[in-house]
Structure 1
């Protein structure tokens, strides 16, 4: 499974702890290049093999062969057995200096130009369409794991740490930070690739607003903030067998999305609403989003 050794990588700095443990910036002593190291501790079977992880890594390596421009490169995988029951698997990724969160914070007022947002969104959706076509869902998409190179290239990171999915997997809700979580995750219903589209919609809005669209403090609070914008969904769209009842919420009516994201143009607003659709079955797919008129029409710059 592994061909590198962890000795080849010299840790330089800690670049933050994610849901998956601490991430280090390191130098590859052979090439001199910087890399990002992410280690996962995995339970092993009686042969000392972390079965699901072997499958995960095999998938990541398969994705690597496509060399997709909007997905972070997996350079190497190292496995070190710690005990009979545990193996430490270190994934070595290319290192990208900044994430979208920093990139947005650094943008001088009044923020990013509409054409720049369109370009970033297009790249984000290209990366997602690629992952989804390979049956990988990200599940934890947020500005912190969308990397932006100094040339303005978008690269999705941390997706390999999501599991290969079967369509009806109700996952433990620890996988996503609250603000980018879709309703079906907040309600702990089953879910699939549309989760990533919802998160992308939240990020799309955030590029214009320069702050998150929905900042909830609990699952119920987050849902309430969502319904204030998109309206309380009809009874028949509410998933069955979930713990949070629809009766918890006031009968919010949908408000124009431009009340919340005033800088967005008409086609952008339409696309945003198709991404922020309550029912995941009705949410636009990454491929269809790339085909949306928002990306087809170049902005006509009018003299003012």
Structure 2
């Protein structure tokens, strides 16, 4: 079963946006500078193709979007371009070259580094459990990348193996910021992302969630790296919450006071029976010490904490003893210098974030 991505943009408040507006200039090139395109993936959202820059021979990935009714998705592409531009210099976010326009159709696309296969595809071909050291290295990179994103006031909102690229350089990178939101925009925020990786507060309709929803998603990714399958596989929001509580235990006023006031808790009297029947979390049964060390399990538990007030931040997770063996690992200083798109004069797209 595959989980579906649900797109919901945060509301825009004009006055607040004007007060916070920062202008970013995104390079605008032309698709004529690329050749040999072949499709890497296609879906209802649009398509991603691989091509080569005529001048440099460098392979790139070009993302095209479709809007319902046949539109080109230009507004969504511009927004994603702004988020990618804001992440420039983060070695754990896919490198961004700018926008390119097809002179014949005026269709826009994002031009990014071709940074390897998705983690989802890599796990499909994995016959044996990943060594804990491999999981540790991947999680250190992902949490470091998330810390930098969150420091730039960006919430990804759709972190999952399909949106993580695994490069031949053994570096993992976030991609697809199409559902990202800027925390400078005030709440309320709507649910956005892929249900199996959504944090409980988002599933419950909390309107003022924050970057900790990404941390929950990273906990789900860590669990999948260890176990090979998505940990929580609900069929709708209610069932997803039941899946989560079936493993982690039903929250009570001591663990998450806000939960008991939600419509979900009020409408599910059987939760109290489940709470009495199942005494707390069974996560350790799912990931015994033969699969995950005590320190690794403590980190996983900190990421997969239902109450966001008690959940680890990305910065706090990176200070966990589980990472002590790789704290000396160097963060790549920067991505390779990006070659200019066309050599001819360019126009620029101006984005406000």
Fold shared by both chains (TM-score > 0.5): yes
After TM superposition, give the deviation of residue 19 of structure 1 in Å. 7.5
Contact kept in structure 1, 2:98 and 2:110, CA below 8 Å: yes
Unaligned runs of 5+ in 1: 43-49, 299-304
Tell me which of 15, 27, 36 is aligned to 2:40: 15
Report how many residues are paired: 283
Contact kept in structure 2, 1:168 and 1:192, CA below 8 Å: no
Residue 94 (structure 2) aligns with:
72
Residue 101 (structure 1) aligns with:
120
Question: Is 1:259–2:285 an aligned residue pair?
Answer: yes
Greater RCO (CA < 8 Å, at least 6 residues apart)? 2
Residue 136 (structure 2) aligns with:
118
User: Residues 196-227 of structure 1, C-alpha deviation per residue, up to 9 Å, x if partnerless?
Assistant: 10000011111110111111111111100100
How far, CA to CA, are the matches of 1:38 and 1:239 in structure 2?
Answer: 43
Contact kept in structure 1, 2:80 and 2:177, CA below 8 Å: no
How far, CA to CA, are the matches of 1:92 and 1:31 in structure 2?
Answer: 14
User: Residues 234-267 of structure 1, C-alpha deviation per residue, up to 9 Å, x if partnerless?
Assistant: 1523175x54235423324322422112211111
How far, CA to CA, are the matches of 1:130 and 1:121 in structure 2?
Answer: 14
After TM superposition, give the deviation of residue 75 of structure 1 in Å. 1.1
Distance change (3 Å), C-alpha of 1:100 and 1:246: farther
Distance change (3 Å), C-alpha of 1:77 and 1:161: farther
- Aligned positions of 1:1-304 closer than 5 A: 1-10=26-35, 12-17=37-42, 20-40=45-65, 57-64=81-88, 67-79=89-101, 88-109=107-128, 111-159=129-177, 161-165=179-183, 166=185, 168-171=187-190, 173=191, 175-190=192-207, 191-235=209-253, 236-238=257-259, 240=261, 242-248=262-268, 249=271, 250-251=274-275, 252-262=278-288, 263-297=291-325
CA RMSD of superposed structures (Å) = 2.7
User: Residues 148-175 of structure 1, C-alpha deviation per residue, up to 9 Å, x if partnerless?
Assistant: 111211111112651323352322x3x3
Q: Please, what TM-score do these two structures have when normalized by structure 2?
A: 0.72
Contact kept in structure 2, 1:56 and 1:163, CA below 8 Å: no
How far, CA to CA, are the matches of 1:243 and 1:261 in structure 2?
Answer: 32
Distance change (3 Å), C-alpha of 1:77 and 1:7: same
How far, CA to CA, are the matches of 1:140 and 1:277 in structure 2?
Answer: 18
How far, CA to CA, are the matches of 2:202 and 2:37 in structure 1?
Answer: 36
User: Residues 131-164 of structure 1, C-alpha deviation per residue, up to 9 Å, x if partnerless?
Assistant: 0000011100000111111121111111265132
SS at match of 1:244: helix
Q: Find runs of 4+ consecutive structure 1 residues off by over 6 angstroms.
A: 50-53, 80-83
After TM superposition, give the deviation of residue 51 of structure 1 in Å. 7.7
